[in-house]
Amino acid sequence: MKLTRTSIFLAATAMPMIRAVKPNNYVFFLPDGYGPASETFARDYANYVDESTIKLPVDNLAIGYVRTKSLDSLVTDSAAAATAYACGIKTNNRAIGVDGDNIPCGTVLEAAKLDGYLTGLVVTSRITHASPAGFAAHVADRDMESEIAEQIVGYSHPLGRVVDVMMGGGKCFFLPKSNTDSCRDDDLDLWSIAEDVYHWTMTSSRAAFDSASDSDAVDIPFAFIPASGHMAYEVDRDPQLEPSLTDMAITALDILHRKAKEQDTGFFLFIEASRIDHGGHAHDPIAHLYDILEYNRAMLAVKRWVDDNDDTVLLSAADHECGGLTLGVPDYAWYPSVLTHADHSAQYYAAIYKNMRSFNYSAAMMESTLVDRVFGGYGIYNVTLAEIAGLAITNTPAVFLGELLSSRAGINWSTLGHTAVDVTLFGHGLHTEKLVGNHDNTDVCHFMADQLGLDLGKATRRLQSDESFVASIRSAANAKKFLRPFQHEHEDDIIQAHHKH
């Protein structure tokens, strides 16, 4: 028997059963775009770098699989998947917290709030992006991020404010269009309204975040939004500006736990490793890898936090695979060593290249700088003249670099979008052993609601009783302005918000 690590895990999960019968707190941790091959990818890399690492932290928490298809597609997007996990229903791709007829559905976060639980959203994308939005907003299309921001702070949510703690990027959707950093089309100063009307502590400062994690004196609702668009990829992150996902997750847990104890209640926390997905869309093995490793660090930290607080349960599953990643292409070639050299994402090196074009470099200077700083910086040492020429003519230099490095590592990407494969379900804590096996993504929602004793139907009825809210969603949907064909996430869209001004 060589099952020591797993045996330890099983013992640890079984223990709380003796002490508690019902969890007080639930954490749902979504690694966006994390498919089965991504897990093997990161594990083999970790094992290459450190032979003693045989398994990833999440490997020890695997309990099952999740089926992901949406109402209108066998391949889901993050919006329909978030709605499935949040509301327990299938909906169309691009829909946020509404069913196939654009009628709003109560989410597990909202149902928790209605029952007196505290709630939180912690992500590395814009806080208005599809996954967190699916838990606390209801709009016809995921791109309605201004409306999502309004609902998340409580400004236009039928239930009022349903979120107590939020952390992530997307500040631009809270600023009026007069601000140069705004992504809004209107003059709404949602940042100030959130502070003044809804009593949010709104901060972008790393120092304020650190105070929040060190002190008992945090007020809720508390929002930490350090980035205008998405927060940085982990491999590009400047720790002076942005904490890690692990830091944010534990800080949110500590705040919610402390406040919940004070109020004699529990909490529901949604955490997302948002940008594993973006690395997949961009075919960037470096961005994908480091965000996966940070997801694993955060999962390990949350798992240990749960070990210390056994009235809390951790479930985790991706929304879908991203990029069609396969390892060993062609001919069983799979070389994690190729990935050890890059210090930044392909997007970072592509930005250097784009910047170079504005300089008055000689051809020789251009070539040597490209070889050294761009290709070499990213770990592509044996670059050919044809590849250098290829960079000059591509419209997507980051994807170009990512695919060059991928092919050298034996990694293949089959699509710029998502794929249909089942994703892995991870669990730790009370009763998660009941979820062993293969489940629909909607089942995961009903399990969580059941465990917390929540009534999703009550939340749904409350939302639907607001007739003008329901009418406004259907009106937006009927305008059909969002009913467009599938769009790839453009590589620039992946790293920054849609600056419209």
CA atoms of 247 and 245, how far apart (whole Å): 5
DSSP class of residue 384 equals -
Q: Does 301 bind its own copies (CB under 8 A)?
A: no
CA atoms of 102 and 139, how far apart (whole Å): 8
Q: Does 36 bind its own copies (CB under 8 A)?
A: yes
- Choose, by CB under 8 A, the member of 23, 24, 59, 133 that binds its own copies: 59
Q: Does 438 bind its own copies (CB under 8 A)?
A: yes
Contact 333, 408 (CB under 8 A): no
Q: Does 415 bind its own copies (CB under 8 A)?
A: yes
* Maximum pairwise Cα distance, the chain: 72
3-class DSSP state for residue 339? helix
Stretch that binds its own copies, among 153-161, 205-213, 252-260, 407-415 (CB under 8 A): 407-415
Q: Does 52 bind its own copies (CB under 8 A)?
A: no
Q: Does 1 bind its own copies (CB under 8 A)?
A: yes
Stretch that binds its own copies, among 121-129, 138-146, 160-168, 428-436 (CB under 8 A): 428-436
Stretch that binds its own copies, among 35-43, 100-108, 174-182, 458-466 (CB under 8 A): 35-43
Q: Which pair of structure tokens corresponds to residue 235?
A: 């491999």
- Choose, by CB under 8 A, the member of 22, 354, 434, 461 that binds its own copies: 434
Q: Does 180 bind its own copies (CB under 8 A)?
A: no
| Residues taking part in catalysis | 78
Smallest CA-to-CA distance from 199 within 241, 161, 158, 168 is with: 161
Whose Cβ is closer to its own copies: residue 194's or residue 435's? 435
Burial label, 204 (beta-carbon count in 10 A; 0-12, 13-18, 19+): middle
Q: Does 15 bind its own copies (CB under 8 A)?
A: no
- Choose, by CB under 8 A, the member of 63, 130, 144, 190 that binds its own copies: 63
Alpha helices in 205-362 (DSSP H): 206-214, 245-262, 276-281, 285-308, 346-356
CA atoms of 230 and 497, how far apart (whole Å): 7
Q: Does 331 bind its own copies (CB under 8 A)?
A: yes
List all residues 6 or more positions away from 202 whose beta carbon is below 8 Å from its beta carbon.
174, 191, 194, 195, 223, 225
Q: Which helix H or strand E contains 126, and what residues bound it?
A: strand 118-126
Q: Does 86 bind its own copies (CB under 8 A)?
A: no
- Choose, by CB under 8 A, the member of 170, 221, 280, 324 that binds its own copies: 324
Q: Does 446 bind its own copies (CB under 8 A)?
A: yes
- Choose, by CB under 8 A, the member of 128, 228, 296, 412 that binds its own copies: 412
Rounded alpha-carbon distances, angstroms, from residue 26 to 109, 118, 228, 257: 10, 11, 29, 11
Contacting residues toward its own copies, per CB under 8 A? 1-3, 6, 9-10, 36-37, 39-41, 43-44, 54-55, 59-65, 67, 69, 73-75, 77, 88, 93, 321, 324, 326-332, 334, 336, 412, 414-422, 424, 433-434, 436-440, 442-443, 446-447, 450, 486, 488
